[in-house]
Structure 1
Amino acid sequence: MKLNRLLPGLSMAALGLVALVTVAALFWRGGEPKPFMVASANPYASEAGAEILRRGGSAVDAAIAVQAVLSLVEPESSGLAGGAFMLHHDAASGRLDAFDGRETAPMGATPALFLDSDGKPLPFLEAMIGGSSVGTPGVVKMMWLAHQEHGKLNWAELFQPAIRLAEEGFAVAPKLAQAIARDPVLMQMPVAQDYFYRLDSDGARVPVAEGDILTNPAYAETLKRVAADGWRGFYEGPVAEEIVSAVQNAPMRPGTLSMDDFASYEAKKREPVCAPYRDYRVCSMPPPTSGGITALQILGILSHWDLKGMEPMTLTSVHFIAEAMKLAYADRDKYIGDPDFVPVPVTAMLDPAYLESRSEQIDASITRGKAKPGRLPDERAMNWGLNQPIDKPSTSHFSIIDARGNVVSMTTTVEGPFGSHLMAGGMMLNNQLTDFSFLPEIDGEPVANAVAPGKRPRSSMTPIIIYDADGDFYAAVGSPGGSRIIAYVTQTVIALLDWEMDMKSAISLPRFVDRNGPLEIEAGTSLEEMKPLLEQLGHQVETRELMSGLHGIRVTPQGLDGAADPRRDGNVVTELP
């Protein structure tokens, strides 16, 4: 590890770590060049994507470069040893593809994976830390699959920005420094303790600080293998072997992940889920993420109410949106799991008549309290017990549009923060298996999201792509935030489409979330003044920090409009190629 106070390549001023950037660039018509835009959670990553786009790369090419750099500079949130969902809009054909790189449970996993000897769920931290929470990583194979179809540049070229940063060093961003400083376990973990901490003059370990320079030669070697050998460089040979060894020999709760699990992993293309909203068509990922269906349910319920007339962030609009969230989250907890293992009633859950019936349950004068799942015509779905979710607020999202008009909206994660806290190949290993229900059955009914070998845990990731009334691309957006992702993203879509805000304004709005429990409102915002009035409507209101990390791009008649969430370290890069 190299530590100093210099910043190779970019000064801190150039990095800007500016929390919010909105950029408009003129479109060029006919055969002249068009602008590109990258909005991501870290300036190094945004610049890596822009570098690839300047060379003529596609949105998918840029996404691979962005992900490779995020694994290095934002390891608490995402990485190549994790999973991701990617939406891709092809400008030439108008086709929308959904790429599933979600992790899978090892073949040695059992429904009792997170139960103690008495059959009771483990405390989350105990379940999270160590080898038993690590799923077979999916990001690299997903990126390979997407590149085979939509890549323009050579695969190896896409990893050069990340290799360069790993070898020469990068400046620790504020969010990473804060995450290291407050983590209760990281200092005790092998490999991680040597990477994220340095020895002070008394020989005591202290966390690296904002602005310190870190190099990661182990990650550089991993990237070189992946660059040279494609997906095989990750799923076969030394990289996979090191990950398997770290999991099986973990100091806490060793896991069963094996080379056979790596060999059998498959990234998948799935059909996106889409639904009309106002004059637009909103699309997202299908299961095994619950994000797409749940977001579309919230919008479908609210489509029967005049949110524009309620005006932005008023008592009335907050109440109605929160009530719609309750109803959709209730359905989410009963019906959604890995569609390769359980029948997910997607059509029934998005049926307009069903959503209209759910909307009729909203009372303008009082909250309904805890919502129950709706009754669906698919009788198989009615047999599931309620999931017991524990989603932690980590993850990352980026949005990209290239000079050809192709778009990527990608949400990526190692869970965590810092995943399982194990490191191998210079990467944090995910703890994604804790996204399964710890209890395999509730009141004698099996849970759709129970652990099973080879199964993908249910996610909350909600990458969004929106089309306008003419069927043209309009916007891409997404966020980190655990199970709150769905609320963050849906609120932003409402701000864009109902309240006609620009991307900066939509992303900067105060956050509120109702996951069918208390109504959480963002501390230090105007929502705090609304708390007594919300309580008069019966809401149980909790004030807390809500760390969304929204990154979005929108097309306007004046050009591209992009923004990065002021709550994190991200930025937007745009220019004419």
Structure 2
Amino acid sequence: MITTRFCQLSWSVMLCFSLVQGASAAPSPVSYGVETDTFHPVKEQHGMVASVDALATQVGVDILKQGGNAVDAAVAVGFALAVTHPQAGNLGGGGFMMLRTASGRTTAIDFREMAPARASRDMFLDANGNADSKRSLTSHLATGTPGSVAGFALAAQKYGTLPLSRLLAPAIKLARDGFVVNEALADDLNTYGKEVLLAHPNSKAIFFKADGAPYQKGEKLVQKNLAHSLSLIAKQGPDAFYKGAIADQIASEMAANGGLIGKADLAAYRAVERKPVSGSYRGYEVFSMPPPSSGGIHIVQILNILENFDLAKMGFGSADAIQVVAEAEKYAYADRSEYLGDPDFVKVPVQALTSKAYAKSLAQQIDLAKVRPSSEIKPGKLAPYESNQTTHFSVVDSKGNAVAVTYTLNTNFGSGIVAGNSGILMNNEMDDFSAKPGTPNVYGLVGGEANAVQPAKRPLSSMSPTIVAKDGKTWLVTGSPGGSRIITTVLQMVVNSIDFGMNVAEATAAPRFHHQWLPDQLRVEKGFSPDTLRLLETKGQHVKVQPAMGSTQSIMIGPDGMLYGASDPRTVDDLTAGY
């Protein structure tokens, strides 16, 4: 096995037309790792796993070696991360899975959390009618009915080849026997852990030692209660979580502390299969997560806008290329604030938002020389077109089956609450609802009535597990954590690979930028030329250099069938490996 890490004039109509016409130029040829490349991907032949944690990656590789397919490996990785990466890996949260079979069938599994039956529209407002982030982030009210166990069980039952008990065995062993704390977990326990875990005795007893100090790098963390819960699921299936002893623990924890989740909520939970959002970009097919994720719609929407510009000619990192992408992002995030929500409760205008005609109308409003202030951008009129902490992992097997999973507790360690003696950390995903229309959530995202709190509703998400196909065959499997920045991080993985011809490692390592409409700010990582940033400022961009964005875990399949993978150099202890 080989393993690697990587540490001024407005547009005239004629100019707009010429740029749109020029956009049909072929993108740069994709590199698969040659001597001239700056970063080199992991290269393997039979199967590959990319995740944020080396132990979990190895679990997935072992399942592939034992004859499991990509879904088997993904489910095993998901359960393992609940043990080794408790910041975001979970049983008490939820997420999304994108799956593409070797035969080309693509589907999406939605295991997003749901609001409890007793949830109400104004439950997170204080006496003055203002949104109270403490209620939506750190109280027992913050937790939605978890979906991860149901989602993994559904995937394994319908698309896997190995029994669920076998897929849970590695996670049970890691929890029961313990594992050595890595640098990433030690750092997060010392920062976020102290903020959210110490206030809860059950959580403190697991993640902090007898002297009150958090576990340090190199020390062994044992989670006996979590091992017991995992063992119950292995023996009884998801009913152990939703109807059995684990459900009792969760319901009792909530009842004793003002939470809303009851046994009926847990028993009623269902993971659901949905049709992916799909689009085309310069001859490639793009498949991503549909609502209640906003990711797929807006990745396709932004790519549709960008297809009207010749980014390859502009060049990676140029002021013009960044200007075009940032302005396109602003229009997409403005639409997100108005139109996106749970499709089981609101009509989401998917066709309009992903229409190439609508995208062209937006592209014609983008000025290369000058920004349009966010205050002047409103959600689009769609009638003519209608007919921070999360984790991601990617898996491809020897037959070409591919899985992309993004799942989360929301912020680091979720609400910080462990349900009774279950050893299971609970999410704080209720903050992803719009507590009050127009009021930003913890990631600064503004939402409207479409994403208001309602019983049994799933909150809007930015999680964007994405699969790109070329000539009918899976080509790129990718995704990232990052709250509101997930969409733009995944977008840049696609654009870097297709428009700028980067190999998967280079596309991963390239500096990133982000605009989400509100606040009206272009966030950039360090690594861009100061000259480029000055040019952007002359165009009117409010540029802010801020900390690194995202933690992509990606796999690319070359024309020879070889697998090329990369973990993100922005994070420590992640690993891409295969055989």
By the TM > 0.5 criterion, same fold?
Answer: yes
- Partner residue, 1:150: 159
- Partner residue, 1:233: 240
Q: Which moved more, 1:305-314 or 1:236-245?
A: 236-245
Tell me the distance in 2 between the aligned counterparts of 1:363 and 1:423: 51
- Once the 2 structures are TM-superposed, how far is the Cα of residue 246 of structure 1 from its aligned partner? 2.0
Instruction: Identify which of 98, 102, 107 aligns with 2:117.
Output: 107
- Partner residue, 1:10: none
Task: Assess, with a 3 A threshold, how the Cα gap between structure 1 residues 199 and 148 changes in structure 2: closer, same or farther.
Answer: closer
- Partner residue, 2:465: 463
Tell me the distance in 2 between the aligned counterparts of 1:246 and 1:484: 33
Amino acid aligned to 1:128: L
Tell me the distance in 2 between the aligned counterparts of 1:17 and 1:313: 24
The answer as to whether partners of 2:513 and 2:525 remain within 8 angstroms in 1 is: no
Tell me the distance in 2 between the aligned counterparts of 1:521 and 1:298: 17
Task: Assess, with a 3 A threshold, how the Cα gap between structure 1 residues 528 and 410 changes in structure 2: closer, same or farther.
Answer: farther
Instruction: Identify which of 208, 214, 217 aligns with 1:197.
Output: 208
Instruction: Identify which of 340, 346, 370 aligns with 1:366.
Output: 370
Tell me the distance in 2 between the aligned counterparts of 1:101 and 1:38: 21
Q: How does 1:156-175 map to 2 (within 5 A)?
A: 156-175=165-184
Tell me the distance in 2 between the aligned counterparts of 1:359 and 1:321: 10
- Partner residue, 2:489: 488
Task: Assess, with a 3 A threshold, how the Cα gap between structure 1 residues 508 and 18 changes in structure 2: closer, same or farther.
Answer: closer
- Partner residue, 1:412: 407
Tell me the distance in 2 between the aligned counterparts of 1:266 and 1:55: 30
- Partner residue, 1:31: none
Amino acid aligned to 1:428: L
- Partner residue, 1:40: 51
Amino acid aligned to 2:191: R
Tell me the distance in 1 between the aligned counterparts of 2:6 and 2:349: 43
Q: How does 1:85-164 map to 2 (within 5 A)?
A: 85-91=96-102, 93-122=103-132, 124-164=133-173
Task: Assess, with a 3 A threshold, how the Cα gap between structure 1 residues 229 and 15 changes in structure 2: closer, same or farther.
Answer: farther
Tell me the distance in 1 between the aligned counterparts of 2:424 and 2:241: 12
Amino acid aligned to 1:421: G
- Partner residue, 2:570: 567
TM-score, normalised to structure 2's length? 0.88
- Partner residue, 1:58: 69
- Partner residue, 2:44: 25
- Partner residue, 2:426: 429
Amino acid aligned to 2:237: G
The answer as to whether partners of 1:462 and 1:479 remain within 8 angstroms in 2 is: yes
Cα RMSD after superposing both structures? 2.0
- Once the 2 structures are TM-superposed, how far is the Cα of residue 536 of structure 1 from its aligned partner? 1.1
- Partner residue, 1:291: 295
- Partner residue, 2:15: none
Task: Assess, with a 3 A threshold, how the Cα gap between structure 1 residues 520 and 571 changes in structure 2: closer, same or farther.
Answer: farther
Structure 2: segments with no counterpart, 5+ residues: 8-38, 440-446
Amino acid aligned to 1:268: V
Task: Assess, with a 3 A threshold, how the Cα gap between structure 1 residues 453 and 21 changes in structure 2: closer, same or farther.
Answer: farther
Tell me the distance in 1 between the aligned counterparts of 2:386 and 2:256: 41
1:473-501 CA-to-partner distances (Å, cap 9, x unmatched) read: 11110000001100100011000111111
Tell me the distance in 2 between the aligned counterparts of 1:446 and 1:413: 23
Task: Verify: 1:271 aligned to 2:278, yes or no.
Answer: no
- Once the 2 structures are TM-superposed, how far is the Cα of residue 531 of structure 1 from its aligned partner? 2.7
- Once the 2 structures are TM-superposed, how far is the Cα of residue 313 of structure 1 from its aligned partner? 1.3
- Once the 2 structures are TM-superposed, how far is the Cα of residue 231 of structure 1 from its aligned partner? 1.0
The answer as to whether partners of 2:4 and 2:577 remain within 8 angstroms in 1 is: no
The answer as to whether partners of 1:513 and 1:521 remain within 8 angstroms in 2 is: yes
Amino acid aligned to 2:380: G
Tell me the secondary structure at the aligned position of residue 423 of structure 1.
coil
Task: Assess, with a 3 A threshold, how the Cα gap between structure 1 residues 525 and 476 changes in structure 2: closer, same or farther.
Answer: same
Tell me the distance in 2 between the aligned counterparts of 1:319 and 1:547: 18
- Partner residue, 1:7: none
- Partner residue, 1:385: none
Tell me the distance in 2 between the aligned counterparts of 1:503 and 1:441: 38
The answer as to whether partners of 2:40 and 2:506 remain within 8 angstroms in 1 is: no
Amino acid aligned to 2:409: V
Q: Which runs of at least 4 in structure 1 moved beyond 6 Å after TM superposition?
A: 14-18, 378-381
Q: Which moved more, 1:172-181 or 1:129-138?
A: 172-181
The answer as to whether partners of 1:287 and 1:339 remain within 8 angstroms in 2 is: yes
Tell me the distance in 1 between the aligned counterparts of 2:499 and 2:78: 32
Task: Assess, with a 3 A threshold, how the Cα gap between structure 1 residues 39 and 298 changes in structure 2: closer, same or farther.
Answer: same
Task: Assess, with a 3 A threshold, how the Cα gap between structure 1 residues 522 and 365 changes in structure 2: closer, same or farther.
Answer: closer
Tell me the distance in 1 between the aligned counterparts of 2:128 and 2:542: 33
- Partner residue, 1:9: none
The answer as to whether partners of 1:21 and 1:571 remain within 8 angstroms in 2 is: no
The answer as to whether partners of 2:304 and 2:356 remain within 8 angstroms in 1 is: yes
- Once the 2 structures are TM-superposed, how far is the Cα of residue 328 of structure 1 from its aligned partner? 0.7
- Once the 2 structures are TM-superposed, how far is the Cα of residue 45 of structure 1 from its aligned partner? 0.6
Tell me the secondary structure at the aligned position of residue 427 of structure 1.
coil
- Partner residue, 1:74: 85
Instruction: Identify which of 396, 400, 424 aligns with 2:395.
Output: 400
1:216-273 CA-to-partner distances (Å, cap 9, x unmatched) read: 01110011011111111211111111112222323xxx21100000111111010001
- Once the 2 structures are TM-superposed, how far is the Cα of residue 85 of structure 1 from its aligned partner? 0.4
Tell me the distance in 2 between the aligned counterparts of 1:317 and 1:245: 54
Tell me the secondary structure at the aligned position of residue 191 of structure 1.
helix
Amino acid aligned to 2:206: Y
Amino acid aligned to 2:123: L
The answer as to whether partners of 2:393 and 2:553 remain within 8 angstroms in 1 is: yes
Amino acid aligned to 1:317: A
- Partner residue, 2:250: 243
The answer as to whether partners of 2:88 and 2:409 remain within 8 angstroms in 1 is: yes
Q: Which moved more, 1:94-103 or 1:521-530?
A: 521-530
The answer as to whether partners of 2:3 and 2:577 remain within 8 angstroms in 1 is: no
Task: Verify: 1:546 aligned to 2:548, yes or no.
Answer: yes
Tell me the secondary structure at the aligned position of residue 38 of structure 1.
strand
The answer as to whether partners of 2:339 and 2:348 remain within 8 angstroms in 1 is: yes
Tell me the distance in 2 between the aligned counterparts of 1:162 and 1:303: 44
Tell me the distance in 2 between the aligned counterparts of 1:446 and 1:191: 36
Identity of aligned residues (%): 39
Q: How many residues matched?
A: 531
Instruction: Identify which of 186, 190, 196 aligns with 2:197.
Output: 186
The answer as to whether partners of 1:343 and 1:380 remain within 8 angstroms in 2 is: no
TM-score, normalised to structure 1's length? 0.89
Amino acid aligned to 1:422: I
The answer as to whether partners of 2:136 and 2:430 remain within 8 angstroms in 1 is: no
Instruction: Identify which of 192, 213, 221 aligns with 2:228.
Output: 221
Tell me the distance in 2 between the aligned counterparts of 1:55 and 1:416: 34
Task: Assess, with a 3 A threshold, how the Cα gap between structure 1 residues 522 and 246 changes in structure 2: closer, same or farther.
Answer: farther
- Once the 2 structures are TM-superposed, how far is the Cα of residue 441 of structure 1 from its aligned partner? 7.7
Instruction: Identify which of 443, 449, 452 aligns with 2:454.
Output: 452
- Partner residue, 1:537: 539
Tell me the secondary structure at the aligned position of residue 322 of structure 1.
helix
Instruction: Identify which of 261, 266, 274 aligns with 1:257.
Output: 261
Task: Assess, with a 3 A threshold, how the Cα gap between structure 1 residues 555 and 446 changes in structure 2: closer, same or farther.
Answer: closer
Tell me the secondary structure at the aligned position of residue 160 of structure 1.
helix
- Once the 2 structures are TM-superposed, how far is the Cα of residue 188 of structure 1 from its aligned partner? 1.9
